[in-house]
Amino acid sequence: MRDQQRPDQAVRVPGGAAPWLATGSPSAGGAWHLVLPLALAQFISSYAASSLNVAISTIAADLHTTVIGMQTTITLFTLTMAALMIPGSKLSDLFGRKTCFMAGLAVYGIGALIASASQGLGAMILGNSLLEGIGSALMIPPVYILVTVSFTDARTRAKAFGAVSGAGGLGAAAGPLLGGLVTNSLGWRAMFLLQVAVIVAIIVLARDIVDPPRQGPRPPFDLGGAVLSAAGLFLLVLGILQTGTYGWFVSRKDFTVAGTVLIPQGGMSPVWLFIGAGAVVLSWFFRYLLARERKGREPLIHRRLFHNRTANLGLVVQTIQWLTMQGSFFVISVYLQQVHGYNPIQTGLMLTPATVGILASSAAAGRLARRHSQRRLVVMGFVVTCAGMAVLLALARATSGNTRFVPGLLLMGLGIGVMLTSAVTIVQSSFPDADQGDISGLSRAASNLGSSLGTALAGSILVAAAHPGGRPFALSLTTLLVISVLGLAAAWRIPAQPEPARPPDRAARPAR
């Protein structure tokens, strides 16, 4: 086949990839059967994160709780994923990618089943927030590791990443529409039962996945590093998510703990307490890694991963692209519902052009990778996305017809779909097989951080306004446009050629 090459050939991935990944990996031609279950797993995780928003009021009424209670449930789901993604990837490195993938599916499915049968907020938090979040942290990192080690050629790997990343973008974009349709026709519990059915199908499809066995003794799990990284990311993301309640700079309400007002309304926003605490813990985490490596002990994640300029810029790009996508979808959804009076189904239908754009550009990832470097595709993706936002700002008005939203949303979807695939390829392909567990967790943590920041940033601007139309909508979208331009600048700095990189120290790290 045209895209295959000998297993002993080095692979040079356009846009800064390391030329190491061919050694010891299965042939690309025989690995395509694993793409479907991996893509479905990414789809259902992204779908779960976006579909629940359209049913908040309905679920709150059924469970005799409040909208704030349901928002807390969704927030905890995001927090759990972001905090546990790096430890989850390390477990896949220790116990096997397929083992952790299947375990994550099982935990996720049990969580969705508990959520579907919940009669109160406690059971909903247990099922949806904790178990589904833990399941996602276990099953998502192996998805990208398995794709990287199973496809030895840059072009075929780009096609596989296109399918998986496109499924994630499609799940996030189509979540509101599918969630609205299922809720209106079958009830909100059916949303979780649908997830259970998809999880069962993935488990059946994933039985034939072949994961190369690990060689050498199993290294110990760095529990201290896992606790510090999870705590740091938890506090950081929690602070970002609290901006919708307290604002970024001046607290919109009293901040109380155990009935005691610590920060009165009008004082400094308490979000900086959480963000500052998260930064301190993460700084402690990096010092802990340094000390552990100096003692010759296996760390949770090797610091050398942060010494690769290509991967660092790729992680920045991933964070900004997910920030842009989730933030834009949130802003547009609120605008359509509050200004145009759309219901969840109508809102989802209006976002369909973006969904179509994401699906189309992701499906074309393989063909595009044959003609352009991954770096160029990311740059092109940001340019098209920024153009789509500018068109939306120019055409969207409170009195606008439906068709005025189509060009901008379609351009945004096309640009985001290209970036989703290319940025993942750049990051994952910058390291050899032995580092795929570490970089996959770091990559997924960056994506979740971007998603949380996008919703929180856009939401904090809209919540501050009495009416989300007009100026607040334009300000939110303009803010996201400026951040996208910064992402374009980061993508432009990605090296056009693979940078020299050091293979992992085999003496310090057992061979895979």
Residues 446 and 462 in one domain: yes
Task: Return the structure tokens found at 404.
Answer: 């005025």
* DSSP designation for 129: I
> What digits encode the pLDDT tens for the residues 357-400?
887 887 776 677 778 888 888 999 999 999 999 998 888 665 55
Q: What per-residue confidence (pLDDT) applies to 363? A: 72
Identify which has the larger pLDDT, 198 or 306: 198
List, in order, residues 6 or more apart from 12 with CB less than 8 Å away: 19, 154, 498
Residues 172 and 275 in one domain: no
Contact 385, 486 (CB under 8 A): no
Domain of residue 131, CATH code: 1.20.1250.20
Across the range 26-44, mean pLDDT stands at 74
Q: What per-residue confidence (pLDDT) applies to 305? A: 85
From start to end of 289-351, where are the E strands? none
> What digits encode the pLDDT tens for the residues 457-494?
776 666 555 444 457 777 888 888 999 999 999 999 98
Residues 336 and 294 in one domain: no
Query: Structurally, how many domains does the chain consist of?
Result: 2
* DSSP designation for 200: H
Residues 196 and 341 in one domain: yes
Q: Is the pLDDT of residue 273 over 50?
A: yes
In a domain, 503, yes or no: no
Across the range 131-152, mean pLDDT stands at 85
In a domain, 9, yes or no: no
Residues 192 and 333 in one domain: yes
Q: What share of the chain is helix, strand, coil (3-state, %, to 5)?
A: 75, 0, 25
In a domain, 342, yes or no: yes
Q: What per-residue confidence (pLDDT) applies to 26? A: 42
216 band by pLDDT with thresholds 50, 70 and 90:
low
Q: Given 252, 279, 299, which residue is the final one in a domain? A: 299
Q: Is the pLDDT of residue 280 over 60?
A: yes
DSSP 50-105: HHGGGGHHHHHHHTT--HHHHHHHHHHHHHHHHHHHHHHHHHHHHH-HHHHHHHHH
Residues 354 and 481 in one domain: yes
In a domain, 512, yes or no: no
- Among 136, 217, 142, 211, CA closest to 171: 136
Residues 310 and 203 in one domain: yes
Q: Which domain holds residue 268?
A: 223-299
Percent of the residues in the chain that have a pLDDT greater than 70, as a whole number: 81
pTM for this model (two decimals): 0.76
Q: Is the pLDDT of residue 506 over 60?
A: no
In a domain, 166, yes or no: yes
The mean pLDDT of the chain is: 79
Identify which has the larger pLDDT, 78 or 401: 78
In a domain, 500, yes or no: no
Contact 329, 457 (CB under 8 A): no
Residues 146 and 65 in one domain: yes
In a domain, 125, yes or no: yes
Residues 317 and 270 in one domain: no
In a domain, 5, yes or no: no
Q: Is the pLDDT of residue 7 over 50?
A: no
Q: Pairing mode, if any, of strands 260-263 and 255-257? A: antiparallel
321 bridge partner residues = none
Q: Cα(165)–Cα(202) distance, rounded to whole angstroms?
A: 17
Helix (H, G, I), strand (E, B) or coil at 268: strand
Residues 292 and 367 in one domain: no
Q: What per-residue confidence (pLDDT) applies to 498? A: 52
Across the range 209-229, mean pLDDT stands at 79
